[in-house]
Amino acid sequence: MEMAIDTPSPSPSVSPAPSAAAGRQTRAAESVRLEHQLVRVPLEALRATARTNHRLAEKEIAAVLSSASSAAAAPGESGSAAAVDHLTSLVSRLHGLKRKMEEGARAEELQVQRCRARLDRLAAASAGDDAEWEDIRLKRILVDYMLRMSYYDTATKLAETSGIQDLVDIDVFLDAKRVIDSLRNKEIAPALAWCAENKSRLKKSKSKLEFLLRLQEFVELVKAKNFLQAISYARKYLAPWGSTHMKELQRVTATLVFRSSTNCAQYKVLFEQNQWDSLVDQFKQEFYKLYGMTLEPLLNIYLQAGLTALKTPFCFEGNCPKEDPLSLDGFRKLAEPLPFSKQHHSKLVCHITKELMDTENPPLVLPNGYVYSTKALDEMAKKNGGKIICPRTGEECNYTDLVKAYIS
């Protein structure tokens, strides 16, 4: 198969500057298409905070009005002192509500600030410095990976030293950490509370998380030999799920007969530790969906995009060169679900010299992504005092900025 890295040259009327600007806009658009969570996460957090504040205000005000109405309708035999005490308690409750609403307003303002900072970041993509944009983008991707892998302190430190606190979602992940830690400690209550807070949205996405949590709580009661309590729990919390999850419900309730000491593999697995690990994974998936995040870390997605072009059968043979990323176990694991590249034997032709690029005349990559042969760029650098000018876009760079590419 022969493949020439050649694209139509731009019209002479197009100047290099507009081409560079168009390239920045294209890269920014592609980035946003994949990283939509950059804007969506703070927006979802703002909506959640606003909903929480609204529910709190409604609940407290309704309680105060109900209490005041009851006091007004009651006979006045208790005397004015009791009425004053009652009103004082209502005023104190309203002061408490005011403090909570002020805290909620500050939380909303913080989320608005983050939304604004991220919109400003996107607006600067088409006019800012490419190197600075890519550097911040890489740091955001690294922070996202660290947070997903539970390296919270390291992620926080990187965000602080880079000044990108408003561009990452540390506080959102710390809220999820509280639920994850509780599940790892075999505590269900915080996860159920999270489900209650987001009940309407989880229902809309047809989530099974609450059902799975209820099943696990039932199993724990059986494991502790609290059989009567387990039966009461099943009637109250599991029976409503019978119409949609009957098979799973029947299997779990059978643990009343097949205890934790059973040798029947179908039921023994329900008592094992990995059930809790599965709940942690399920919660993470629902958490990512709720905030519009990618299910895989962004770092993995970008690495897999590159590995897709590099993965060939040759990479998995014993003589895979050390320069090939797929010679490393970590990259091989990432590449496992990916298809092989169709171009097992690539032939690259230089746009400048029209000569074949191979190990004797290897390809070099410019900062703008275009590829030319070493021979052509060596000659250009000698003529221009170490400067390289891309013949397609007119962009200029130093010879030291070039990166060697490897042909698989």
**Above 50 in pLDDT, residue 8?**
no
For residue 228 the two structure tokens come to 């009567």
In whole angstroms, what is the distance from residue 10 CA to residue 18 CA? 11
Yes or no: say if 324 and 307 are a contact pair by the CB < 8 Å rule. Answer: no
Residue 93 C-alpha from the chain's centroid: 39
Confidence of residue 384 (pLDDT cuts 50, 70, 90): very high
Asked if residue 11 has pLDDT above 60, the reply is no
Task: Return d(Cα 318, Cα 157) in angstroms, integer.
Answer: 40
User: Which long-range contacts link 225-229 to residues 24+ away (Cβ below 8 Å)?
Assistant: 227/256
Overall average pLDDT of the 243-250 stretch = 90
Distance separating alpha carbons of residues 70 and 142, to the nearest angstrom:
57
Q: Which has more confidence, 344 or 84?
A: 84
The answer to whether residue 273 scores a pLDDT higher than 70 is yes
d(CA 45, CA 202): 15
For the segment 178-233, what is each residue's pLDDT rounded down to a tens digit?
Answer: 999 999 999 999 999 999 989 888 998 899 999 999 999 999 999 988 999 999 99
**Span between the terminal Cα atoms of the chain, in Å:** 13
The torsion angles phi and psi of 349, rounded to 5 degrees, stand at -110, 130
Long-range contacts of 33-37 (CB under 8 A, 24+ apart): 34/294, 34/298, 34/301, 35/140, 35/298, 36/292, 37/169, 37/291, 37/292, 37/293, 37/294
Tokens of 145: 């990976």
What is the rounded average pLDDT of the residues 357-382?
92
Describe the crossing of helices 37-73 and 170-184 by its angle, rounded to 10 degrees.
Answer: 70
**Average pLDDT value for residue range 334-362:** 81
Give the percent of the chain with pLDDT over 70. 86
What's the pLDDT score for residue 122? 79
Cβ(315)–Cβ(160) below 8 Å: no
- Asked if pLDDT for residue 154 goes beyond 90, the answer is yes
Would the pLDDT of 313 be above 80?
no
* 407 or 384: which leads in pLDDT: 384
Residues 16, 280 contacting (CB under 8 angstroms): no
**Structural contact between residues 121 and 167, judged by C-beta atoms closer than 8 angstroms:** yes
Q: Kindly give, in sequence order, each residue whose CB lies less than 8 Å from that of residue 181, ignoring residues fewer than 6 positions away.
A: none
Average pLDDT across the chain, whole number = 84
Which secondary structure element, helix H or strand E, spans residue 192, and what is its range? helix 189-197
Q: Is 341:311 a contact under the CB 8 Å cutoff?
A: yes
pLDDT surpasses 80 at 38: yes
Model pLDDT, residue 133 = 80
Q: Which of 42-51, 62-71, 139-148 has the highest mean pLDDT?
A: 139-148
pLDDT value, residue 36:
79
Tell me whether residue 369 is exposed, middle or buried, using C-beta atoms within 10 angstroms of its C-beta: 0 to 12, 13 to 18, 19 or more: exposed
Q: What is the DSSP string of 11-61?
A: PTTS-HHHHHHHHHHHHHHHHHHH-THHHHHHHHHHHHHHHHHHHHHHHHH
> In the chain, pLDDT over 90 holds for what percent of residues?
38
CB–CB of 300/329 below 8 Å?
Answer: no
The span from the CA of 148 to the CA of 402, in Å, is: 34
